[in-house]
Homo-oligomer: A and B are copies of this chain.
């Protein structure tokens, strides 16, 4: 036998590195140890297992050719030894040994290594609130928990559920509980929007409306303060504002890198608890690598370190580690945080920085918000999606991209393309000329991605000036502000009419685009004009014309009515224009 390779952690980065290094060094002695009895599973599939979309947990740990990835599989097919239910207690770096203990028998063992990989993953954060350990409180940390939750539901023990946390896992779990089991589900999020810091407010609000439309009670800006129990079982969740009865609590408020064994061994660990690695994913000990949720990597846009707890990232990192272990110097440059999520009939995703984060990071950040068709607008079945491009005005670099859309791959197409552009440090101009494949069943002659770049270019050149959606909502919601502004609705009259009737012409002034050249002198000159159409593009054209005609106090409402009706609003009266499923 050749080199002795030990890998602590058998979920994603660990098995990937093990199998790859075994292919590179066929005579190596590769051993994976994991404290759990179930290994190498698709953790991101857990919500779909709980929902019932995936009927058997074995499917989550099977190959595409239907072999379960268990000890037999790794031994016979991959030539990799696996020790399950085996916890790594400590690493003796001097002797190059891992000391382990069997979780059932208590048996201790010593594993010699030449090279070691720490792929210990992460643990879910547990809120330090009363009742957090009650029967019926779960985190989504491993397959056992998922099996237990599904078992409880299948036995009819769950009529009501509360999900704490409006991040990706919380939202996926809320859908799983509601959609396929009909459980009355509430979702509680401490921040005042869903997917905080990942998705900006307008698009997060579209998601929020969609969850509400699908019968999830969404409570934002409310922290869970207590889990009320009875006889040790959860019966309710108390927030600062209300008490929500429940039989089940899913706590999905984030993760923490699991770096105890690394820290104990004296390896460098960051303040946030992530193992520090170089570009080759080496820890501060050159014979020890680390990968997956337990490390921090470089964010290729902000340049900062971050923890990227994605199975996809873990697999990529695992491969890089294997190459380095086998003497093929390979670097992992970092990530851009590509993210996509299904929520009922909606897709939502992002990559890079949100506008909020980009501003906080000190960029001269601005955004283009658009609402184009996801394929040729004349092609049957086309749907609107909402896209936001975040860019730096000074350097013209792309900083991020995000969107919501119907449940198909149209959004994912643009997120992935933007991800490649972000990895390549693209500018607005490169983004605007990216050559997306065009055919009416798949896209538009001017792809939404390119169009987002065009808008950014117009904003940078101050040819276009816009009002953020937040500001527009604040104005609409407060009648005391109404005297200063005026919405100029440039759509067809039958489209503007319901809103004109609701608000009156002093607030909502109709002037169709094709009558603008003749009638623009009718527009009051003493008010700031909010230029309004369905998607924002006609509003921009009118802005250019009005600038030329001496009306310079104007702002386009980016994304227009397409965005607003998907966001919903208390100030928008019920009616056909507000009766909308994504």
Residues on A close to B: CB < 8 A? 12, 23-24, 26-27, 42, 44-45, 48, 53-54, 59-60, 62-65, 67, 72-73, 76-79, 168, 310-316, 319-320, 328, 330, 332-333, 335-342, 347, 349, 351, 372-373, 376-380, 407-410, 412-417, 419-421, 423-424, 426, 429-430, 432-443, 445-447, 449-450, 454, 461, 463, 491-492, 513-515, 517, 533-535, 538, 541, 544-545, 547-548
Distance of A343 Cα from B170 Cα, bound (Å): 39
CB distance from A103 to the nearest CB of B (A): 26
Q: Is A441 within 8 A of B64, CB to CB?
A: no
Docked CA distance A312–B376 (Å): 11
Which of B64, B419, B439 makes the CB contact (< 8 A) with A436?
B419
Question: How far does the Cβ of A410 sit from chain B's closest Cβ, in whole Å?
Answer: 5
Q: Are B548 and A373 in contact (CB under 8 A)?
A: no
Give A433 to B334 CA distance when docked, in angstroms.
9
| A540 nearest CB across to chain B (Å) | 8
A417 to B335, CA, bound (A): 16
The verdict on A454 contacting B420 (CB below 8 Å), with A45-B379, A446-B312, A491-B65 known, is no
- In the complex, given contacts A310-B438, A319-B454, A340-B439, what are 6 additional A-B residue pairs having Cβ atoms less than 8 angstroms apart? A44-B440, A67-B514, A312-B436, A313-B435, A413-B413, A416-B436
Q: Which residues of B contact A446 (CB under 8 A)?
A: 312, 315-316
| Candidate in A373, A378, A419, A535 with the most chain B CB atoms within 10 angstroms | A378
A430 CA / B331 CA spacing, docked (Å): 10
Distance to closest chain B CB from A60 (angstroms): 6
Q: Are B450 and A437 in contact (CB under 8 A)?
A: no
> Which single residue of chain B is at the shortest CB-CB distance from A544?
B23
Alpha-carbon distance A443/B547, docked complex (angstroms):
46
In angstroms, how far is the closest chain B Cβ from the Cβ of A151?
19
A-B contact pairs, 24 of them (CB 8 A): A26-B544, A26-B548, A44-B445, A45-B440, A53-B379, A53-B380, A54-B378, A54-B380, A73-B514, A76-B514, A79-B517, A312-B438, A312-B443, A312-B446, A312-B447, A316-B446, A320-B433, A332-B433, A409-B410, A416-B416, A416-B434, A416-B449, A419-B435, A423-B430
Whole-angstrom distance between the alpha carbons of A446 and B160 in the complex? 36
8 Å CB contact of A379 from B26, B54, B424, B435:
B54
A439 partner residues in chain B, CB cutoff 8 A: 44, 168, 340-342
CA distance A340 to B379 in the complex (A): 15
Q: Which 10 A-B pairs have the closest CB atoms?
A: A409-B409, A312-B438, A424-B424, A340-B437, A338-B437, A420-B420, A26-B548, A64-B377, A76-B514, A413-B413
**A376→B59 CA distance, assembly (Å):** 10
- When C-beta atoms are compared, the residue in chain B nearest to A24 turns out to be B463
Q: Which residues of B contact A342 (CB under 8 A)?
A: 439, 441-442
A214 to chain B, nearest CB (A): 16
Q: Please indicate the chain B residues that have their CB under 8 angstroms from the CB of A412 in the complex.
A: 409, 413, 437, 442-443
Q: Which of B65, B73, B409 contacts A408 (CB 8 A)?
A: B409
Q: With A and B bound together, what is the CA distance between A311 and B233 in angstroms?
A: 63
What chain B residues lie within 8 Å of A491 (beta carbons)?
Answer: 65
Verify B340–A445 contact, CB threshold 8 A: no
Knowing A27-B548, A442-B409, say if A437 contacts B415 (CB, 8 Å).
Answer: yes
User: Which residue of chain B is the closest to A533 with respect to CB atoms?
Assistant: B65
CA distance A534 to B67 in the complex (A): 13
Q: A437–B27 contact, CB under 8 A?
A: no
Contacts of A414 in B (CB 8 A): 416
* Cα A271 to Cα B206 with chains together (Å): 54
- Residues A77 and B438 in contact, CB atoms below 8 Å apart: no
Partner of A416, one of B319, B333, B349, B417: B417
Q: Which residues of B contact A430 (CB under 8 A)?
A: 423
Known pairs A440-B44, A443-B412; A435 contacts B338 (CB<8 A): yes
Given contacts A408-B408, A420-B420, A423-B430, contact A79 B538 (CB under 8 A): no
Contact of B423 with A517 in the complex, beta carbons under 8 Å: no
Quick check: A12 and B380 within 8 Å, CB to CB?
no
Which B residues touch A341, using CB under 8 A?
439
A429-B341 Cα distance, complex, nearest whole Å: 27
- Complex Cα spacing A20 to B416, Å: 29
Question: Quick check: A311 and B410 within 8 Å, CB to CB?
Answer: no
Nearest B residue to A330 by beta-carbon distance? B429
Q: Is the CB of B413 within 8 A of A77?
A: no
**In the docked arrangement, what's the CA distance between A270 and B492, Å?**
47
Partner of A349, one of B336, B437, B463: B437
- Complex partner residue of A435 from B314, B423, B443, B541, CB under 8 angstroms: B423
Return the contact of A450 from the options B42, B316, B340, B534 (Cβ within 8 A). Answer: B316
Q: What is the bound-complex CA distance between A63 and B445, given in angstroms?
A: 12
Q: Are A311 and B445 in contact (CB under 8 A)?
A: yes
Q: Which residue of B lies closest to A440 (CB)?
A: B45
CA distance A436 to B311 in the complex (A): 11
A534–B65 alpha-carbon span in the complex (Å): 8
Q: How far is the CA of A377 from the CA of B442 in the complex (A)?
A: 23
- Docked-complex contact B442 and A347, CB < 8 angstroms: yes
Chain B residue nearest to A451 (CB atoms) is B315
> Which residues of the other chain, B, contact A378 by a CB distance below 8 angstroms?
42, 45, 48, 54, 59-60, 62
Query: Which residues of chain B come closer than 8 Å to A72, judged between CB atoms?
Result: 514
CB contacts (< 8 Å) of A409 on chain B: these are 408-410, 412-413, 442
